[in-house]
Chains A and B, each alone.
Chain A
């Protein structure tokens, strides 16, 4: 049968089992949207901005493990995707983004709303392609879904010119994949596993360091099993959080510049570092020369390019985390390392992560621990900055709770839209976005999307009136020169202001009024005793989002912290640096 490119596009989505599409229409995508009109199988979500659109598809993909699908128009539609594409690709989230394009005969002509989408996207995605012939369309879409979800997942851009959307062709859809330049690894080299296990089984002070790869591979149960068989303590990166339940006795904490003292010290003192699915990003290693300097390092990663990129590895294993862990389990045994575990537990006890102990102060620690208490089956998303770091320090994650956060790119504005995407994917779960007063404003227009989609998500705004994470650096390392970080600033203010006081201008916007104008429930919390009540009110609400604005002290910092350029052992535990 002969059908248009646009009709084939819809057929392809169905063949790929797409149930949800995040789309924003425009001139060069109008035919694709027309083909989607009144389709019952595909839920088309209309956000309010294309950047948020990608984050929503990203939240949907992270929450389900399925491919997130975006559809936008050419030109500004495509350029608005950039931040979201880079965010998702950096965290290995499978997305296929379709962009409309001017007709092939106008490409290169500086036509209205024409940009070189593929040229812009090339360096921030896994694969990007323009469809140049109608007969290639089906194969390209089929390959796009395969490339996005296989191997190390990532973002694929498919740019479809308008004349291709309109052109008639066959309705054939391929069911085979053959891409000669792309053969992701689907097995594990047993020789390498044996070598690794010989080292692990003879270790005196081993640790597992687990990154996002284990969560992406959905190998959480296998990882927990491996930890329990061997008895080896588990440290995670932010992206790896939840690889085993955070309440598990073998869980030590997060590594990194805001990791726990016990985790960082254990890394610095271990004799075997068994890492799975992390690329040893600079935020986790600290000063690279001193990172795990006495340890033999084993590194499992699906991406050969991640191995020995940042640190040199003794035993590399290129494999999917789940396949690798299953193979490792077969060769593992209980290790006799009680002394080492005692040592780590001592560090945990002596230096727990705690915020100020003054019982009256409303701290993010208290807010997040209240979430731990009240929500058992939930997805937590964060924005970027202090709100994110506190969340990763205090949130409890297990098999019924997931954490979605922009780890690699660190994108402000991620929290609210990713929560919307996650909620659309998992209506049975509570979804809570934890954001700051800075980040929430980068995509606050999405409250409209959440209201329109009738999503009872909870949006926590930790409002300290500052771009808090930068403010913290300015306080600690820049002599309290608060350059461009105060969000209560007015033109008439004193430029040398060091902190907020009663005379400061009011915060703008008024989040409560703003949220209400969108049709959300809105609650402002200033005191500790109001926290639980606010969440309970949110829980009662089944139809619209609830915004809870928490007014917190402007001088709260994220600690402990490894100052820039230092090794993991040199942490600031409390207070200020001189």
Chain B
């Protein structure tokens, strides 16, 4: 079992997201994260999907996606250089003065932004790779137990230029 990434180019039409997510659920494949947005061509949407699977299942997933009429292209990101980032917001409630000092100190180290603030609460914003975001959430969870609220966007990815221009 290994973490995999797929870039998926699909028709930008009603129902295509349902088709893709339905394909995963009907075959009992588990999606870890899925992001979708339009591209430079408004008729094409681009999805970044991550999942944890073995080699055989992953091969099947790629083939099943490829045979869907709505899917224009499947790119396996697993073993090629890519750029990938995720956006996260973390809101910390019931902050003491000490907590705030701690969060500002963390922002120095992790380089996240503090984007909203009042007497009791703080919201931070961070764009990073998924694994670092996991680490930060863990850290916040420990430091501010039961007082945080997390909203994360899922990763988007693009192939690195070195490979893409080959």
A residues lining the B interface (CB < 8 Å): 118-119, 122-123, 126-128, 130, 132, 147, 152, 179-182, 303-305, 307-309
Q: Known contacts being A119-B15, A130-B14, A304-B67, is A181 close to B72, with CB within 8 Å?
A: yes
User: Which residues on the B side are within 8 Å of A307 (C-beta)?
Assistant: 63
User: Which residues on the B side are within 8 Å of A304 (C-beta)?
Assistant: 63, 66-67
Give, as a whole number of angstroms, the nearest-CB distance from A507 to chain B.
40
Q: Which one of A122, A152, A182 lies within 8 Å of B15 (CB-CB)?
A: A122
* CB closest chain-A residue, reference B23: A123
User: In whole angstroms, what is the CA distance A126 to B19 when docked?
Assistant: 11
Q: Known contacts being A181-B69, A303-B67, is A308 close to B15, with CB within 8 Å?
A: no
CB-defined interface of B52-78 with A at 8 Å, one 1/0 digit per residue? Answer: 000010011001101111111100000
Q: Are B69 and A127 in contact (CB under 8 A)?
A: yes
Q: Known contacts being A304-B63, A305-B67, A309-B60, is A123 close to B14, with CB within 8 Å?
A: no
Give, as a whole number of angstroms, the nearest-CB distance from B53 to chain A.
14
Q: Which one of B14, B18, B56, B68 lies within 8 Å of A181 (CB-CB)?
A: B68
Q: Which of B8-29 contact A (CB under 8 A)?
A: 10-11, 14-15, 18-19, 22-23, 26
User: Which residues on the B side are within 8 Å of A303 (C-beta)?
Assistant: 67
* CB closest chain-B residue, reference A304: B63
Q: Are A181 and B63 in contact (CB under 8 A)?
A: no
Q: Which one of B14, B18, B19, B59 lies within 8 Å of A308 (CB-CB)?
A: B59
Report the 3 A-B pairs with minimum CB-CB distance, sorted nearest first.
Answer: A305-B63, A181-B72, A127-B69
Give, as a whole number of angstroms, the nearest-CB distance from B90 to chain A.
36
Give, as a whole number of angstroms, the nearest-CB distance from A95 to chain B.
15
Give, as a whole number of angstroms, the nearest-CB distance from B40 to chain A.
15
Q: Are B19 and A181 in contact (CB under 8 A)?
A: no
Q: Which one of A119, A130, A179, A305 lies within 8 Å of B69 (CB-CB)?
A: A179
* CB closest chain-A residue, reference B61: A305
User: In whole angstroms, what is the CA distance A302 to B22 when docked?
Assistant: 23
Q: List 28 A-B contacts (CB under 8 A).
A: A118-B15, A119-B18, A122-B15, A122-B18, A122-B19, A122-B22, A126-B69, A127-B69, A127-B70, A128-B15, A130-B14, A147-B69, A152-B67, A179-B69, A180-B72, A181-B10, A181-B69, A181-B70, A181-B72, A181-B73, A182-B69, A304-B67, A305-B64, A305-B67, A307-B63, A308-B56, A308-B59, A309-B60
User: In whole angstroms, what is the CA distance A50 to B46 when docked?
Assistant: 38
Q: Are A132 and B69 in contact (CB under 8 A)?
A: no
User: Which residues on the B side are within 8 Å of A305 (C-beta)?
Assistant: 60, 63-64, 66-67
User: In whole angstroms, what is the CA distance A119 to B25 when docked?
Assistant: 14
Q: Known contacts being A122-B19, A181-B71, A303-B67, is A132 close to B14, with CB within 8 Å?
A: yes
Give, as a whole number of angstroms, the nearest-CB distance from A294 to chain B.
22
User: Which residues on the B side are within 8 Å of A127 (C-beta)?
Assistant: 69-70
* CB closest chain-B residue, reference A181: B72
Give, as a whole number of angstroms, the nearest-CB distance from A186 to chain B.
15
User: In whole angstroms, what is the CA distance A119 to B17 when docked?
Assistant: 11
User: In whole angstroms, what is the CA distance A182 to B67 when docked?
Assistant: 7
User: Which residues on the A side are within 8 Å of B15 (C-beta)?
Assistant: 118-119, 122, 128, 130
User: In whole angstroms, what is the CA distance A182 to B10 when docked?
Assistant: 11
Give, as a whole number of angstroms, the nearest-CB distance from A44 to chain B.
28
User: In whole angstroms, what is the CA distance A123 to B20 when docked?
Assistant: 10
User: In whole angstroms, what is the CA distance A126 to B23 when docked?
Assistant: 12
Give, as a whole number of angstroms, the nearest-CB distance from B34 to chain A.
17
User: Which residues on the B side are within 8 Å of A126 (C-beta)?
Assistant: 69
User: Which residues on the A side are within 8 Å of B59 (C-beta)?
Assistant: 308
Give, as a whole number of angstroms, the nearest-CB distance from A266 to chain B.
27
* CB closest chain-B residue, reference A156: B69
Give, as a whole number of angstroms, the nearest-CB distance from B37 to chain A.
18
Q: Which of B30-57 contact A (CB under 8 A)?
A: 56
User: Which residues on the A side are within 8 Å of B19 (C-beta)?
Assistant: 122
User: Which residues on the B side are within 8 Å of A130 (C-beta)?
Assistant: 14-15
User: Which residues on the A side are within 8 Å of B71 (C-beta)?
Assistant: 181
* CB closest chain-B residue, reference A119: B18
User: In whole angstroms, what is the CA distance A119 to B23 when docked?
Assistant: 12
Give, as a whole number of angstroms, the nearest-CB distance from A141 to chain B.
15
User: Which residues on the A side are within 8 Å of B18 (C-beta)?
Assistant: 119, 122
User: In whole angstroms, what is the CA distance A152 to B69 when docked?
Assistant: 12
Q: Which one of B22, B56, B69 lies within 8 Å of A123 (CB-CB)?
A: B22
Give, as a whole number of angstroms, the nearest-CB distance from B140 to chain A.
39
* CB closest chain-A residue, reference B43: A180
User: Which residues on the A side are within 8 Å of B11 (C-beta)?
Assistant: 181
User: In whole angstroms, what is the CA distance A181 to B16 when docked?
Assistant: 12
User: In whole angstroms, what is the CA distance A397 to B10 when docked?
Assistant: 44
* CB closest chain-B residue, reference A180: B72
User: Which residues on the B side are within 8 Å of A181 (C-beta)?
Assistant: 10-11, 68-73
User: In whole angstroms, what is the CA distance A118 to B15 when docked?
Assistant: 8
Instruction: Output the residue of A128, A152, A305, A309 with the most chain B CB within 10 A.
Output: A305
User: Which residues on the B side are within 8 Å of A179 (C-beta)?
Assistant: 69
User: In whole angstroms, what is the CA distance A127 to B23 when docked?
Assistant: 12
Give, as a whole number of angstroms, the nearest-CB distance from A51 to chain B.
22
